[in-house]
Amino acid sequence: MISIITPVYNGERFIREAVSSVEAQTCENWEWIIVNDGSTDGTAEILECLDDPRIQVVHQQNLGVSAARNVGLDLAKGKYITFLDADDLLPANALSARADFLDAFPDVDIVNAGVHVTSDGKLLRRYKPDLKKGPLLERLARLEPGVFFGVLYMIRREKLGDHRFSRDLSHSEDLVFFLTLAHDAGLNYGAIRDTVYEYRLQENSAMSDVDGLESGYLGLIRLSVNMPRISDSCLTTQRQRVQRILFRSWLRIFRPDRALLALYKIRRACVNQG
């Protein structure tokens, strides 16, 4: 019934816990496609020791998270598809709660849910989804926080068609993927209160992280302005929110010069593409 897709690169510290969380699911009717994206640590050896017939391991050279997810999408056979990053966890009801919702509401194409954000086992915050059902496109384009939290969506496979993740983006590739899908497939959104995902914060370089964030959001703007089903007022809201996000992100790491440059790049992206 459910296909889970996980890209992993050098995940030997975390992948065993991810495996335990999936194998502990109350729903047992799943397949799990794990794509080892050219790991250089002990990840491959750990994956090769897995003996659950529902788990399919694919090894490839290091091509990035989007390419790895695309391999999973090409192989997935489930009625529903969801994603799990290798350093995150699924609570025991994560699959059943979302699949039951999609079974009960055939008018819903994609389901959101609650998330626990943790660090070193400590709960930092709870993400609560917007429970209002309806068209996803403009709500996602406006970057409404209640309708999107990374890749935790569960979606009907029939809605995917040949849509795949962009390999040109290192950040916001998931947002761009789902926005394109919402536009082209006219996705109807739904959500449940249940917590179905544990997102575990990892240490990253602040500078490279904001650089990637900026690149991803600029790509989102360029994409959105060329989508005819997104209204001008929605594009304006999106631009204002991206401006706030990037400006504050650069100031947080004491780079006011990059904050101002980001505002200039956003204006250029709108003018050049609009």
pLDDT tens digits, one per residue of 130-177 = 999 999 999 999 999 999 998 999 999 999 999 999 998 878 899 999
Q: Which helix (H) or strand (E) holds 55?
A: strand 55-60
Q: How far is CA 115 from CA 2, 38, 265, in A?
A: 19, 29, 32
What are the two backbone dihedrals, phi and then psi, of residue 65, each rounded to the nearest 5 degrees? -65, -35
Domain that holds residue 177: 2-200
Judgement on whether residues 159 and 248 belong to the same structural domain of the protein:
no
Q: Does 92 share its domain with 35?
A: yes
Domain count, the chain: 2
pTM for the full predicted model: 0.94
Check whether residue 169 and residue 269 sit in a common domain. Answer: no
The pLDDT tens digits for 225-271 are: 999 999 999 999 999 999 999 999 999 999 999 999 999 999 998 87
> What burial letters (b/e) apply to 245-262, b meaning 16+ CB within 10 Å?
bbbebbeeeebeebbeeb
Backbone angles phi, psi at 153, to 5 degrees: -50, 150
Does 175 share its domain with 218? no
Q: State the CB neighbour count (10 A cutoff) for residue 21.
A: 18
Q: Looking at residue 175, what is its pLDDT?
A: 95
Identify the domain boundary among 179, 200, 221: 200
